[in-house]
Structure 1
């Protein structure tokens, strides 16, 4: 049995810059592509402080969740990429404020660099149920 695939691009975000969709829905799950600190108007916030970049990334995740018809409390898995692992405590503080009591599975990876010179990128999976 095959699951239908439904690509979704959020109308609240700048269109994808590459060959991908913001979200792919299949089997009752929404797979959210890695979100960078790019505003809905396409401004890259890579020269802004880490907290500003992280806030925009989380806002972009919200836009994707809404476009897929789900919400933060339906997140199952979150993967965070940071170029300076020293920024992790600040991200975690912002993440707790954003997410509240819900605690999905999470992984964090320190990476050498991210697209556009961003300091943070987040990928997520949420249920639609």
Structure 2
């Protein structure tokens, strides 16, 4: 979408750029259902972690950007399925005025091996 890398690995730390709900194989934007949008964003993050030989257990920090904080509960329901409650990363969720391609959710992460 822009002039940046999907992720950078530096000294064992993986910095993953914000992922929006685009299917990487088809290039089609997933929209219309915040749960499906969140799942696609998380699957994009999972693919990047896997490529770096990491899992969600390696994630130490997550940032979620929402176009509507009223979707917070639904996003959390999907997000929680990817983490163990005891080892879930630090996180903030921020409502923003707009996101790339007018999506409803964008998620970035930092993982350490």
Q: TM-score range by the shorter chain?
A: over 0.9
TM-score normalized by the length of structure 2 = 0.93
Which protein, 1 or 2, shows the higher relative CO under an 8 Å CA cutoff with sep ≥ 6? 2
User: Displacement, 1:99?
Assistant: 1.4
Cα root mean square deviation, aligned: 1.0
Whole-Å separation in 2 of the counterparts to 1:87 and 1:35: 17
Say which one has the larger Rg. Answer: 1
Whole-Å separation in 1 of the counterparts to 2:107 and 2:13: 17
2:50 is the counterpart of 1:77: no
Structure 1: runs of 5 or more not aligned: 1-16
Deviations 1:77-109 (A, max 9, x none): 000000000101111111111213321110110
| Residue correspondences, number | 111
Partner of residue 123 from structure 1, selected from 81, 100, 108: 108
SS of 1:99 mapped into structure 2: coil
TM-score normalized by the length of structure 1 = 0.82
2:98 equivalent in structure 1: 113
Summarize the alignment of residues 1-129 of structure 1 with structure 2, pairs less than 5 Å apart. 17-40=1-24, 41-46=26-31, 48-101=32-85, 102-128=87-113
Structure 2: runs of 5 or more not aligned: none
